[in-house]
Structure 1
Amino acid sequence: MAAPVTFQRVADLASTIDKSVESFTNGKAEPSHQVEWYQPKLTNLPETARKLFKDYSGINESEIVEHIHRVRDRAWDILPYPCIGVFRFLDFGAHLSPIYPTVLERVIAGETFLDLGCCFGQDIRKLVADGASSDNLLGADTEGRFADLGYDLFKDSGTLKARFYTQSIFDEVFLPEWHGKVDVIYLGSFLHLFDFEKQKIVVSQLTKLLRRKKGSLVFGRNLGADQGGAFRMNALGWDLYRHSEQTIRKLWAEAPDGDWAVSAELTRYQSEGWDDGRRSWQGDEIKQMYFSAVRI
């Protein structure tokens, strides 16, 4: 069993994600539409999104795209993340994971689910649309205004019972009221924001939240590559981390509090809502990884 990771100050640990607007806009003081990761129009509404906005949110089909544009552009003015600029939140990425049917079955049965880095809470809405009760669903993000926009995006402020928290995983005490009470945690486009040592801090925090029993689960998706490691995404000016199957297993091999069975697969980096199906600024060497880690 690996030794617990030693904590340092939040300012040292979270520097990768604590970016000013200038960090997302190539030095401009305001959110800019003149960057490669801002797609002006949604030219292809994914079928999953169309069905969810129609059946769950009750939006007329002819109004869905315009509605998405309005909320997306409000979010862009808050923080111009690439996943917002290119409508990647419309993937509802958790349901694309190979383990999603198992996750859905467990959540429907009453297990507690946390979406870490939840943005609008779109994956929480997908679970509810697929039959899960929202009572046992949690979301956490460092930007609380995204949760508010989520209610606007999905038109469910009067019905959704999920709980949203504005907090950083690098806070020394993270969601203390949920320690040992969470069954499933989802990490969507999250791990690749941090170097390997910071990811060890993330994993250490997650193990505090998860129930100390066989079957506790973390799953997610992130940037991947055949050869894992840190790299510079020049278009964004960011230092990110691509996992290979070997590096994601190494990360969980060093996790505290138990042993973990890890599964991982690399796929093409793409999104249904992108206007070209694949953003050219990513490069062919970047892939997408789906992974799961189950306590054994």
Structure 2
Amino acid sequence: MSYFATILKLFGVPTGITLPVLNADLYSLGEEESAFFKSQTGIADDEELKKHILTVQDKAYKVYPYPCIRRFAFTKLKISRHPAYQQFLQLGKTCERGVFLDIGCCVGNDARKAIADGYPMRNVIASDLRPEFWNLGHELFKSTPQTFPVPFIPGNALESTLIGSTEPRYSPPSSPAPELSSLTSLTPLLGRVSAIHASAFFHVFNEAEQFQVAQRLGALLSTEPGSVIFGSHEGRPESGTREYIPGVRMFCHSPESWRELWEERIFKKGSVKVDAQLEQVARSDLSSTSEVHYLLVWSVTRL
């Protein structure tokens, strides 16, 4: 199946158009990304590092050809540029069992950045639909499950087999917290997760599915004030379906509809605070660059 046919299948639209293949010209590491990858991989030479990343990109693209793989989004440090990042790192310092979940983690670049910046590795867990991406993360960062023992739970965020509830908690769990290394699903973490990072994640779902995923993430969030769900994904000034690329349609929330979703439909009114804003972004990877693209940058914090 071609790249475009696969993407069309992902978004549930007819096939019939062809998208470009991998393009090494889209590769670009900023100063912070370059320093991070060099420190993590031990590869100091820029050309050698680029060759290494391109090799892993090719393998990841064959697992599933997400546009974010093609445009090297897995090399960007989305988490550390998020407005809630310092609040998040503080949770790692003040909450002894402050569990951090990176959901839709892909190769784990954001989880690794958080750990490099001081979030305790013992409290970190990751999840993605495809475990092959997590395994490629070990290749990308030259680690092993022994040298980087962060638990990984594969699964579909829409299914109860991964997260077995859609109801937020408003009182702390009565049972002892489980050891993260013992988990085979995220259900034992209901009401226990201090921070959830979800970037380039929600926009792969339609409107109804985004609501369902939000319900499940809300059910995981700890009842402690300051606990936070945060991330970024495609958005628009007015909520609705947009043509992401010719022939492919995607549902995008606006800041207003995103706040309403969490403050009035997922959680009890007055129990969370939602910050949401749009950032205009350039998309040189798309064949048509005339349309304005926005990133919805957001956080949901327990009060």
**Identity %, equivalent residues:** 29
Q: Deviations over 1:222-258 (max 9, x none)?
A: 11111111223233x4331222111111111210456
- 2:7 and 2:65 in contact (8 A); partners too: yes
Q: Counterpart in 1 of 2:53?
A: 68
Q: Counterpart in 2 of 1:291?
A: 298
Note the 1:159-170 alignment, pairs <5 A.
Answer: 159-170=147-158
Which amino acid counterpart does residue 205 of structure 1 have in structure 2?
R
SS class of match (2:35): helix
Q: Counterpart in 1 of 2:280?
A: 268
- 1:114 and 1:185 in contact (8 A); partners too: yes
Which deviates the most, 257-266 or 70-79? 257-266
Within the candidate set 242, 257, 273, 1:247 is matched to 257
Q: Counterpart in 2 of 1:39?
A: 23
Q: Give, in angstroms, the shift of residue 108 of structure 1.
A: 4.0
* Unmatched runs of 5 consecutive residues or more in structure 2: 10-17, 164-185
Q: Give, in angstroms, the shift of residue 283 of structure 1.
A: 4.8
SS class of match (2:57): helix
Whole-angstrom CA distance in 1 between matches of 2:195 and 2:236: 25
SS class of match (1:60): coil
Which amino acid counterpart does residue 151 of structure 1 have in structure 2?
H
Which amino acid counterpart does residue 292 of structure 1 have in structure 2?
S
Q: Give, in angstroms, the shift of residue 101 of structure 1.
A: 1.3
- 2:239 and 2:252 in contact (8 A); partners too: yes
* Unmatched runs of 5 consecutive residues or more in structure 1: 1-18, 28-33
RMSD: 2.4
Within the candidate set 113, 124, 129, 1:142 is matched to 129
Which amino acid counterpart does residue 58 of structure 1 have in structure 2?
G
Within the candidate set 227, 230, 234, 2:238 is matched to 227
Which amino acid counterpart does residue 51 of structure 1 have in structure 2?
A
Q: Counterpart in 1 of 2:201?
A: 190
Q: Deviations over 1:184-226 (max 9, x none)?
A: 1111111112232212211111122111232221111011111
Q: Give, in angstroms, the shift of residue 262 of structure 1.
A: 0.6
Q: Give, in angstroms, the shift of residue 135 of structure 1.
A: 1.3
SS class of match (2:299): strand
Whole-angstrom CA distance in 1 between matches of 2:228 and 2:221: 8
- 2:245 and 2:286 in contact (8 A); partners too: no
- 2:228 and 2:302 in contact (8 A); partners too: yes
Change (3 A) 1:265 1:256: closer
Whole-angstrom CA distance in 2 between matches of 1:177 and 1:192: 26
- 1:135 and 1:162 in contact (8 A); partners too: yes
Whole-angstrom CA distance in 1 between matches of 2:80 and 2:20: 27
Q: Counterpart in 2 of 1:8?
A: none
- 1:192 and 1:242 in contact (8 A); partners too: yes
Whole-angstrom CA distance in 2 between matches of 1:55 and 1:240: 37
Which amino acid counterpart does residue 242 of structure 2 have in structure 1?
F
Could you tell me the TM-score, scaled by structure 2's length? 0.80
SS class of match (2:193): coil
Q: Does 1:59 align with 2:82?
A: no
Q: Counterpart in 1 of 2:5?
A: 23
* Number of residues of Structure 1 aligned to a counterpart in Structure 2: 266
Change (3 A) 1:26 1:242: closer
Q: Give, in angstroms, the shift of residue 107 of structure 1.
A: 2.1
**Runs of 4+ that moved beyond 4 A:** 19-22
Q: Give, in angstroms, the shift of residue 79 of structure 1.
A: 0.6
- 1:37 and 1:82 in contact (8 A); partners too: no
- 1:270 and 1:279 in contact (8 A); partners too: no
- 1:225 and 1:285 in contact (8 A); partners too: no
- 2:230 and 2:298 in contact (8 A); partners too: yes
Whole-angstrom CA distance in 1 between matches of 2:8 and 2:20: 10
Q: Give, in angstroms, the shift of residue 20 of structure 1.
A: 9.3
Change (3 A) 1:167 1:39: same
Within the candidate set 109, 112, 121, 2:99 is matched to 112
Which amino acid counterpart does residue 140 of structure 1 have in structure 2?
S
SS class of match (2:158): coil
